[in-house]
């Protein structure tokens, strides 16, 4: 079978690393990665625990297809109770770290307690130990990765670490691997920092154990790769332009939240788009975009590698990032750009690299700065309080605030608490564009009604990847729906959410679903894992995971009142675009969504639903 059947349990308080068998009964119910790690988390911690207390746990988890020949089979997730939201957090990352952990022989690492001193976890196949990290503390992610490879004299060592943001308990701190791949959202990096754990460094040489049916697996994998290659999105659009292909598309239809959601179209979008990244040239004639890049086993290669124009910044403020250290993705470009009215591509790249280097979620950071800029323009915040002028459109303010937040300096410490806490601190909570405390991604819930419902009901707070209704409302995948209509959206969203939960638990990337349906994914899981992974069983697994997460959140204090959107989206109509005059019609969709989920009108899974799913 594709699981290694082993868990590494690390107790930081005791300084111990112990191997234990994977609970295969749970694996049969929750598959792996997001689902299986969530099952372990909810079984082992009190839902009411302070996310930054030693009693919270941090779980690294691979899926059964992680490390296999399946296209995009390099994913891993970090699961914990998130400090930004106070609900269950599951952040998914690509790169090469997940496959390396699987090659070392581990399905999962459960990290508990708190070390009295900074440490890092070093794993070489079955051998695992905690080592001092005093000289790593205070270092960036990039420095940490280089120092650990040098210390262990191993250029193939794979490192997952936190930067200064995680150490300083920035509530949207990320965990970064392979320099610019990240478990990015909900503050998983702050939990790691609270435990005095700087990094996990892995070297694995064992490969993946035998899949259940090698011949069937190879046939399913080959067929799946052919579908990806022949699809316009996964075979052409994403490799050529990356996720930034969406910038102009979403903006032109009037669904791009701009200046803290005051507008839905950004006049500077074309200057920071994928096309601009291809065309923009520095004084030496080089383009901004260097190349695309793939994660382990990926045949899509949507990653961007970019450089900054050295002539763009003054000598006194010249950044250090001339090389190819990671490029803008759509969500980061939107959050740093549109959300703040900044159309300076070089400034966005600089701020994005700061987020990579010091381990911050660029979505939450950029959206929080958007709230700062609105508060500044309203006169609620002053130049003296922030330490600089911060009007919408200021590239200089964006870059300086990124530096301050990463380093934990001045007003950056307040930004590091996220927009919900920041706006409440200054008496304007309605200006926080969040759900359950997590900042919105790059789609407006008024222009895309299904995405509005997806944000409101997401178990980890505002998130586009838990039920990507953009597929249907913009691309027509798997069916075209009118983005302005509410009819049929609850049923479609539930299907997306359940399917995504299964994909997130497999070890595959959700981007494959631009081309693949569950009919393409199911044969790969069935052949790799054996047992009963029929289409019906797989979709029920996704539904079980969704309800498990909901149960945890309810026990943590979430209620139906939290399944909502900010007043701006519910009451202030879109000013321009195809959805001009529209607000988010959440009230029309939420009751039907609850009913389809088998929940009470208060959003609680019924006894029948719990029994059917074996919760």
Angle at 259 between CA 255 and CA 265, to 5 degrees: 30
Place of tokens 């989920």: 597
Mean pLDDT (the chain, rounded) = 94
Separation in Å, CA 506 to CA 27, 388, 493:
11, 46, 20
Query: How many other C-beta atoms are found inside a 10 Å radius of the C-beta of residue 205?
Result: 11
What pLDDT band is residue 315 in, cutting at 50, 70 and 90? very low
pLDDT at 137 over 50: yes
> How many Cα atoms occupy the beta-carbon half-sphere of 52 within 13 Å?
18
Residues of each domain in the chain carrying CATH 1.10.569.10? 255-438
Output the CATH code of domain 255-438. Answer: 1.10.569.10
Two structure tokens written together for 602:
């208060």
The SS3 call for residue 480 is coil
Judge contact between 28 and 530, C-beta under 8 A.
no
Closest CA to 233 of 468, 516, 471, 514: 514
| Domain 6-203 homologous superfamily, CATH | Aldehyde ferredoxin oxidoreductase, N-terminal domain (3.60.9.10)
pLDDT the model gives residue 277 = 82
Residues comprising the chain, all counted: 615
What pLDDT band is residue 310 in, cutting at 50, 70 and 90? low
Which residue has better confidence, 285 or 261?
261
pLDDT the model gives residue 288 = 67
Two structure tokens written together for 208:
């993946």
Q: Is 1.10.599.10 the CATH number for 446-514+534-613? A: yes
Separation in Å, CA 55 to CA 24, 42, 106, 115:
25, 12, 23, 12
> How many Cα atoms occupy the beta-carbon half-sphere of 552 within 13 Å?
30
Q: Please report, rounded to a whole number, the percentage of residues in the chain having pLDDT higher than 70.
A: 96
Judge contact between 562 and 554, C-beta under 8 A.
no
pLDDT at 44 over 70: yes
Least confident of 187-191, 201-205, 297-301, 336-340: 297-301
pLDDT the model gives residue 309 = 67
Query: How many other C-beta atoms are found inside a 10 Å radius of the C-beta of residue 338?
Result: 28
> How far is the C-alpha of 467 from the C-alpha of 455, rounded, in Å?
9
Burial class from Cβ neighbours inside 10 Å (0-12, 13-18, 19+) for residue 467 reads buried
pLDDT the model gives residue 587 = 97
pLDDT the model gives residue 357 = 92
Q: What is the pLDDT of residues 279-309, one digit of tens each?
A: 765 555 666 677 788 899 999 988 877 777 6
Judge contact between 141 and 40, C-beta under 8 A.
no
Query: How many other C-beta atoms are found inside a 10 Å radius of the C-beta of residue 530?
Result: 14
Mean predicted confidence (pLDDT) in 470-478: 94
Judge contact between 327 and 304, C-beta under 8 A.
yes
Mean predicted confidence (pLDDT) in 591-609: 98
Question: Pairing between strand 119-124 and 197-203?
Answer: parallel
Question: To 10 degrees, what angle do helices 362-377 and 395-407 make?
Answer: 120
Judge contact between 449 and 483, C-beta under 8 A.
yes
Which residue has better confidence, 178 or 308?
178
Judge contact between 498 and 543, C-beta under 8 A.
yes
Bridge partners (DSSP) listed for residue 110: 9, 59
E strand or H helix that includes residue 10: strand 6-11
Q: What is the pLDDT of residues 52-83, one digit of tens each?
A: 999 999 999 999 999 999 999 999 999 999 99
What pLDDT band is residue 314 in, cutting at 50, 70 and 90? very low
What pLDDT band is residue 515 in, cutting at 50, 70 and 90? very high
Q: What is the pLDDT of residues 196-211, one digit of tens each?
A: 999 999 999 998 878 9
pLDDT the model gives residue 283 = 53
Closest CA to 506 of 211, 294, 244, 177: 211
pLDDT the model gives residue 149 = 97
What dihedral do alpha carbons 574, 576, 578, 583 form, nearest 10°? 10
Residues of each domain in the chain carrying CATH 1.10.599.10? 446-514+534-613
**What are the start-end ranges of the H helices in 104-187?**
141-151, 164-167
Judge contact between 306 and 289, C-beta under 8 A.
yes
Range with top average pLDDT, 326-340, 346-360, 450-464: 450-464
Closest CA to 440 of 426, 422, 419, 469: 419
Q: What is the pLDDT of residues 207-233, one digit of tens each?
A: 887 899 999 999 999 999 999 999 999
What pLDDT band is residue 600 in, cutting at 50, 70 and 90? very high
Question: To 10 degrees, what angle do helices 535-555 and 518-529 make?
Answer: 90
């Amino acid at each position: 079978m594709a699981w290694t059947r082993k868990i590494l349990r690390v107790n930081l308080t005791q300084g111990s690393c112990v191997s234990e068998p994977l609970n295969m009964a749970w694996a049969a119910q929750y598959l792996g990665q997001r689902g299986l790690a969530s099952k372990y988390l909810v079984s082992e911690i009190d839902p009411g625990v302070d996310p930054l207390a030693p009693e919270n746990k941090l779980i690294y988890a691979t899926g059964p297809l992680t490390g296999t020949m399946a296209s995009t089979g390099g994913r891993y997730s970090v699961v914990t109770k998130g400090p930004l939201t106070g609900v269950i957090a599951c952040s998914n990352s690509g790169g090469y770290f997940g496959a390396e952990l699987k090659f070392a022989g581990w399905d999962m690492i459960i990290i508990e307690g708190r070390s009295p001193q900074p440490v890092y976890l070093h794993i070489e196949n079955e051998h695992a130990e905690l080592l001092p990290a005093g000289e790593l503390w205070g270092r960036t992610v990039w420095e940490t990765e280089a120092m650990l490879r040098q210390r262990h004299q191993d250029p193939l060592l794979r490192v997952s670490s936190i930067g200064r943001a995680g150490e300083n308990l920035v509530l949207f701190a990320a965990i970064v691997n392979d320099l610019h791949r990240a478990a990015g959202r909900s503050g998983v990096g702050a939990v790691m920092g609270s435990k005095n754990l700087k990094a996990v460094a892995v070297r694995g040489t064992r490969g993946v154990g035998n899949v259940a049916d090698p011949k069937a697996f190879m046939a399913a994998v080959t067929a799946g790769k052919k579908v990806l290659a022949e699809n316009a999105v996964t075979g052409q659009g994403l490799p050529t332009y990356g996720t930034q292909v969406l910038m102009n598309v979403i903006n032109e239809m009037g669904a791009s939240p701009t200046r803290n959601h005051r507008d839905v179209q950004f006049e500077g979008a074309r200057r920071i788009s994928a096309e601009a990244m291809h065309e923009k040239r520095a004084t030496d004639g080089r383009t901004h975009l260097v190349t695309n890049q793939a994660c382990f086993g990926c045949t899509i290669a949507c990653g961007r590698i970019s450089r900054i124009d050295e002539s763009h910044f003054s000598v006194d403020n010249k950044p250090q990032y001339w090389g190819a250290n990671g490029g803008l993705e759509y969500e980061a470009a939107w959050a740093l750009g549109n959300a703040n009215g900044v159309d300076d591509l070089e400034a966005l790249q600089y701020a994005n690299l700061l987020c990579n280097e010091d381990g911050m979620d660029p979505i939450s950071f950029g959206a929080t700065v958007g709230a700062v800029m609105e508060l500044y323009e309203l006169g609620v915040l002053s130049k003296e309080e922030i330490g600089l002028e911060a009007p919408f459109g200021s590239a200089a303010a964006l870059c300086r605030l990124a530096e301050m937040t990463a380093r934990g300096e001045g007003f950056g410490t307040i930004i590091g608490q996220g927009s919900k806490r920041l706006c409440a601190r200054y008496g304007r909570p309605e200006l926080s564009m969040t759900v359950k405390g997590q900042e919105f991604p790059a789609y407006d819930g008024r222009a895309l009604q299904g995405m509005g419902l997806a944000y409101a009901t997401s178990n980890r707070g505002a998130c586009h990847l838990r039920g990507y209704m953009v597929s249907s409302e913009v691309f027509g995948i798997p069916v075209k729906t009118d983005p302005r209509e509410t009819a049929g959206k609850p049923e479609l969203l539930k299907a997306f959410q359940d399917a995504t939960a299964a994909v997130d638990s497999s070890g595959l990337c959700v981007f494959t679903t631009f081309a693949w349906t569950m009919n393409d994914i199911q044969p790969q899981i069935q052949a790799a894992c054996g047992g009963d992974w029929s289409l019906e069983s797989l979709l029920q697994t996704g539904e079980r995971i969704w309800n498990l997460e909901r149960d945890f959140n309810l026990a943590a204090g979430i209620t139906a009142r939290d399944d909502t959107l900010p007043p701006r989206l519910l009451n202030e109509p879109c000013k321009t675009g195809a959805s001009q005059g529209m607000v988010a019609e959440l009230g029309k969709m939420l009751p039907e969504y609850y009913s389809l989920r088998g929940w009470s009108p208060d959003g609680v899974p019924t006894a029948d639903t719990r029994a059917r799913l074996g919760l």
